[in-house]
């Protein structure tokens, strides 16, 4: 005759203990996340990029925006011009902040650049002004013209060194 296996029941206290440990873990994660968010300025918290003070350089990713936004009013009240190489959108710096930017190694498409393109793009430094905001998490969304100064538009994403150099007084 076969003996029936006895199922071992867990005590309610064990289940309660597991629940308490799970809640403590979730609480610790929430506290850490709140500390990180409150350590950044509000605009930086929204973008995930902390804006450094003038003279401090960070590395970040940039894309570009163009045709679909041409002529639309930017956050600073002026119409967007995709062929203006001084325009950028950013969420981590105040409107009017001037940024010195140059291409940094490590872009997804660096290996596809010719020697001439590599020399041109990595040797170029430009100044852009934060004039717009956007729904993105990377550091900058450049105008097409600004992006073209530092990379081929078909690359889509480039890595930059970004240094705030002051603000424009309106």
pLDDT tens for each residue of 127-139: 999 999 988 899 9
Rounded to whole angstroms, what are the CA distances from 108 to 46, 99, 104, 160? 25, 22, 11, 12
Whole-number Å distance between alpha carbons of 170 and 156: 32
pLDDT in tens, 35-79: 443 333 444 444 444 555 556 899 999 999 988 899 999 999 999
Whole-number Å distance between alpha carbons of 54 and 96: 13
User: What pTM did the predictor assign?
Assistant: 0.67
Q: What is the mean pLDDT of residues 79-92?
A: 94
pLDDT of 87 higher than 60? yes
Which tokens belong to 120? 């041109």
Does domain 48-167 correspond to CATH entry 3.90.1150.60? no
DSSP string of 52-107, one letter each residue: PPTT--EEEEEEEE-GGGTT-B-TTSSBP-TT-TTEEE-SSS-TTEEEEEEE-S--
Name the band, by pLDDT with cuts 50, 70 and 90, for residue 25: low
């Amino acid at each position: 005759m076969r003996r029936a296996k006895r199922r071992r029941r867990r005590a309610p206290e064990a289940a309660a203990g597991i629940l308490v440990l799970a809640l403590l873990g979730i609480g610790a994660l929430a506290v850490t996340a709140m500390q990180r968010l409150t350590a950044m300025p509000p605009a930086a918290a929204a973008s995930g990029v902390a804006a450094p003070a003038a003279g401090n350089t960070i590395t970040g990713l940039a894309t570009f925006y163009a045709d679909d936004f041409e002529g639309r009013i930017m956050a600073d009240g002026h119409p967007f011009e995709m062929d203006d190489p001084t325009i950028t959108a950013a969420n981590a710096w105040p409107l009017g902040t001037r940024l010195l930017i140059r291409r940094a190694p490590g872009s997804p498409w660096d290996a596809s650049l010719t020697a001439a393109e590599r020399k041109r793009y990595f040797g170029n430094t430009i100044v852009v002004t934060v004039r717009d905001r956007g729904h993105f998490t990377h550091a900058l969304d450049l105008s097409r013209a600004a992006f073209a100064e530092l990379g081929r538009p078909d690359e889509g994403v480039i890595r930059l060194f970004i240094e705030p150099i002051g603000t424009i007084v309106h």
